[in-house]
């Protein structure tokens, strides 16, 4: 009896607490957020509310907020029913786990850099929302995130750049000795691969690119980069030789980090390519092209801008934007109103997305700040996005980045491609038909993060029946190897595979059944004495 009384008291305390907020000035009138129990259908729930005798309110569905946890946004007419009464009605429904009003929030992560007001491009790709989650710099496991910037030169004395320059801690600066025995003497602040010296050339282009990617944010000075905190490995390049050598340097540093579990080397997750060669195919440069897969094998993606000339790269070529590697993401330059810049190349296969570039505001030489443009400005927004995604709180991504660096890099790439904002004009110029949106990418990570564990189970197979491909959703109690099989009604194994379940995201497996005869089969997962199966039909 006492337990019942306490339960009733808890329910009413919760109701009164939520309703007390209905007069809050930030509340959005007529909107609620509802989390339903697992497997409950939102449309059935809304029909039930609409037929309830206590309300004549016009209840409307807005959109799903989280499919994984069955969270939805709904609206109602407050002229028909008081907000508190509607919330009470929602909360007492059996399908509801929790519910609340919707509110505007006050931005808390807008940087105090005085020229941030000119950085419209940061708002366009959703950076204020991202900075509420992370401002970059470290993974959830404490790895220092590094981006390698290959460019013609840098102003290492710029006050908005100094705090974020990568330093080779295994090297003693200016002692004339190759302390880390990597073949480069005094490479404490990166390397000049043009003159083979630790002394960098000073040019505006590389300085401006670096500022967009990682100028120190929220320091009361100048501007911010996509990352407020990140380490920029500065590498002088200008020709193919220097580019290939710089990529080798990147590979060696990241591979050393992987092999020593972070004791040596650098956790490089991306390189920036604001350079290229117009109207020539990447296949004509097999060594250069091959570097992207080699970097990818150790966990490094590349953000690359296409040519600043108006032509189709599929018809006339461009390096690196038409390179075939899965570890390169390519962008074209867009304007503040989401148009392709007139002086940008394009390609519906080779160019992945748009990214703001023209009129971007960044650091410049002599401690100054100025606007910057072209595809050189579009690329660092993307490279910076790659870096900041590694800092989003998701332990499973951080752990997998060291255990399975190549796979994790491809997951990050896939997330960025899925997260674009659709832009009608870009459908004719890019593969995704969209423009970079980092906030959307963070939302995808938050929704799919966390390697779930549960008893071994084949949850569902779809589409079922199927004539070509099947998707299997499954669950496992751990993350070691499991045996996957397709068995016919005679008990014969017709397909077999060994699968390592992903440490984050959904556990989903695809089967090509085109070669199977029509009939009934069983999908089987087994490990030791644990076996689970589910039937499906091949059409």
Residue-wise pLDDT for 476-497, tens only, equals 988 789 999 999 999 999 999 9
- Do both 416 and 488 map to the same domain? no
Check which CATH number belongs to the domain holding 327 and give it: 3.40.50.200
Which is more confident, 486 or 16? Answer: 486
Query: What gap in Å lies between CA 385 and CA 138, rounded to an integer?
Result: 14
Q: How many CA atoms does the CB half-sphere of 94 hold within 13 Å?
A: 4
pLDDT at 231: 98
- What's the pLDDT band for 56 if we cut at 50, 70, 90? low
- Do both 430 and 481 map to the same domain? no
Chain segment 386-397, per-residue pLDDT in tens = 999 999 999 888
pLDDT at 372: 94
Reported in sequence order, the residue ranges of 366-476 that DSSP labels E, i.e. its strands, are 368-372, 421-422, 434-435, 457-462, 469-475
Which residue among 60, 82, 103 closes a domain? 103
- Do both 471 and 408 map to the same domain? no
Which residue among 54, 81, 103 closes a domain? 103
- Do both 157 and 199 map to the same domain? yes
DSSP 441: H
**Is there a domain that residue 419 lies in?**
yes
Query: What gap in Å lies between CA 308 and CA 306, rounded to an integer?
Result: 7
pLDDT at residue 102 above 90?
A: no
**Is there a domain that residue 153 lies in?**
yes
Query: Cβ distance 184 to 194 under 8 Å?
Result: no
- Do both 390 and 432 map to the same domain? yes
Tokens of 503: 């440490």
**How many structural domains are present in the chain?**
3
Nearest to 306 by CA among 321, 325, 328, 289: 321
Query: What gap in Å lies between CA 103 and CA 23, rounded to an integer?
Result: 11
C-alpha triplet 360, 361, 363: angle, nearest 5°: 130
**Is there a domain that residue 158 lies in?**
yes
Which is more confident, 416 or 286? Answer: 416
Give the position of tokens 């490995």: 233
Expressed as residue numbers, the domain containing 463 is 457-538
pLDDT at residue 31 above 80?
A: yes
- Do both 422 and 478 map to the same domain? no
- What's the pLDDT band for 450 if we cut at 50, 70, 90? low
Mean pLDDT value of segment 412-434: 97
Query: What gap in Å lies between CA 12 and CA 505, rounded to an integer?
Result: 37
**Is there a domain that residue 109 lies in?**
no
Query: Cβ distance 377 to 212 under 8 Å?
Result: yes
**Is there a domain that residue 51 lies in?**
yes
Mean pLDDT value of segment 28-32: 87
pLDDT at 68: 64
Collapse the DSSP code of 448 into the 3-class scheme (helix H, G, I; strand E, B; otherwise coil) and give the result.
helix
Check which CATH number belongs to the domain holding 503 and give it: 2.60.40.3080
Nearest to 135 by CA among 357, 338, 392: 392
Chain segment 147-156, per-residue pLDDT in tens = 999 999 999 9
- Do both 462 and 435 map to the same domain? no
**Is there a domain that residue 213 lies in?**
yes
Check which CATH number belongs to the domain holding 74 and give it: 3.30.70
Nearest to 483 by CA among 492, 495, 472: 495
Chain segment 103-144, per-residue pLDDT in tens = 653 333 457 899 999 999 999 999 999 999 999 999 999 999
- Do both 425 and 501 map to the same domain? no
Mean pLDDT of the chain: 89
pLDDT at residue 228 above 50?
A: yes
pLDDT at residue 400 above 60?
A: yes
DSSP 143: P
Beta-carbon contacts of 401 under 8 Å, excluding residues fewer than 6 positions away, are 139, 143, 267, 269, 299, 390, 408
pLDDT at 34: 86
Tokens of 462: 């779809």
What are φ and ψ of residue 284, in 5° steps? Answer: -80, -10
pLDDT at 20: 44
Give the position of tokens 């997998």: 400
Query: Cβ distance 209 to 151 under 8 Å?
Result: yes
Range in 25-29, 33-37, 175-179, 436-440 the model is least confident about = 25-29
Nearest to 266 by CA among 291, 249, 289: 249
- Do both 335 and 360 map to the same domain? yes
- Do both 380 and 487 map to the same domain? no
- Give 498-509 as a DSSP string: EE---SSS--EE
Chain segment 298-356, per-residue pLDDT in tens = 999 999 999 999 999 999 999 999 999 999 999 999 999 999 999 999 999 999 999 99
pLDDT above 70 coverage of the chain, percent: 91
Give the position of tokens 């600066």: 173
- What's the pLDDT band for 14 if we cut at 50, 70, 90? very low
- Do both 93 and 125 map to the same domain? no
pTM of the model: 0.70
Give the position of tokens 């905190």: 229
Query: Cβ distance 384 to 376 under 8 Å?
Result: no
Alpha carbon 136 to chain centroid distance?
13
Which residue among 406, 424, 448 closes a domain? 448
**Is there a domain that residue 108 lies in?**
no
- Do both 98 and 133 map to the same domain? no
Tokens of 253: 């540093």
């Amino acid at each position: 009896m006492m337990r019942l009384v306490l339960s009733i008291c808890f329910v009413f305390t919760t109701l009164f607490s939520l309703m007390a907020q209905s007069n809050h000035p930030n509340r959005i009138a007529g909107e609620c957020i509802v989390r339903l129990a697992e497997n409950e259908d939102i449309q059935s729930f809304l029909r039930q509310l609409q037929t309830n005798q206590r309300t004549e309110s016009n209840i409307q569905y807005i959109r799903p907020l989280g499919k994984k946890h069955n969270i939805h946004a709904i609206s109602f007419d407050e002229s028909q029913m008081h907000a508190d009464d509607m919330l009470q009605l929602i909360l007492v429904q059996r399908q509801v786990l929790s519910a609340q009003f919707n509110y505007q929030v006050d931005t808390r992560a807008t940087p105090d850099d005085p020229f941030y007001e000119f950085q419209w491009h940061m708002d366009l790709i959703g950076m204020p929302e991202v900075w509420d989650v992370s401002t970059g710099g470290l993974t959830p496991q404490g790895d220092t995130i590094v981006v390698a910037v290959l460019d013609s030169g840098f102003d290492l004395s710029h006050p908005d750049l100094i705090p974020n320059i990568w330093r080779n801690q295994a090297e003693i600066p200016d002692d004339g000795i190759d302390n880390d025995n990597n073949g480069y003497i005094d490479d404490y602040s990166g390397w000049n691969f043009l003159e083979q010296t630790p002394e960098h050339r000073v040019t505006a282009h590389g300085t401006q690119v670096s500022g967009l990617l990682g100028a120190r944010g929220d320091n009361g000075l100048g501007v911010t980069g996509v990352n407020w905190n990140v380490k920029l490995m500065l590498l002088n390049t200008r020709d193919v030789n220097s580019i290939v050598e710089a990529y080798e340097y990147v590979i060696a540093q990241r591979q050393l980090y992987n092999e020593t579990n972070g004791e040596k080397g650098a956790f490089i997750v991306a390189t920036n390519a604001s350079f290229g060669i117009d109207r020539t195919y990447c296949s004509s440069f097999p060594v250069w092209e091959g570097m992207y897969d080699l970097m990818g094998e150790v966990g490094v993606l590349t953000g690359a801008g296409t040519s600043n000339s108006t032509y189709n790269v599929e018809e006339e070529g461009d390096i690196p934007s038409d390179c075939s590697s899965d570890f390169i993401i390519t962008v074209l330059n867009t304007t503040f109103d989401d148009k392709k810049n007139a002086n940008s190349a394009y390609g519906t296969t080779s160019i992945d997305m748009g990214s703001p570039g023209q009129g971007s505001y960044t650091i410049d030489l002599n401690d100054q700040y100025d606007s910057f443009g072209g595809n050189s400005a579009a690329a660092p927004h993307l490279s910076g996005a790659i870096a900041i995604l590694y800092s989003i709180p998701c332990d499973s991504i951080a752990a997998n980045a060291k255990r399975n660096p190549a796979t994790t890099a491809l997951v990050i790439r896939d997330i960025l491609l899925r997260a674009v904002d659709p832009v009608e004009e870009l459908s004719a110029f890019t593969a995704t038909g969209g423009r970079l949106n980092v906030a959307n990418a963070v939302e995808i990570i938050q929704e799919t993060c966390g390697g779930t564990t549960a008893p071994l189970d084949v949850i569902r197979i779809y589409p079922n029946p199927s004539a070509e491909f099947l998707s299997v959703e499954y669950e496992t109690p751990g993350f070691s190897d499991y045996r996957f099989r397709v068995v016919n009604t005679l008990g014969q194994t017709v397909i077999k595979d060994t699968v390592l379940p992903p440490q984050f995201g959904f556990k989903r497996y695809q089967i090509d059944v085109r070669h199977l005869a029509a009939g009934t089969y069983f999908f089987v997962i087994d490990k030791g004495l644990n076996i689970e199966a589910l039937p499906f039909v091949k059409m």
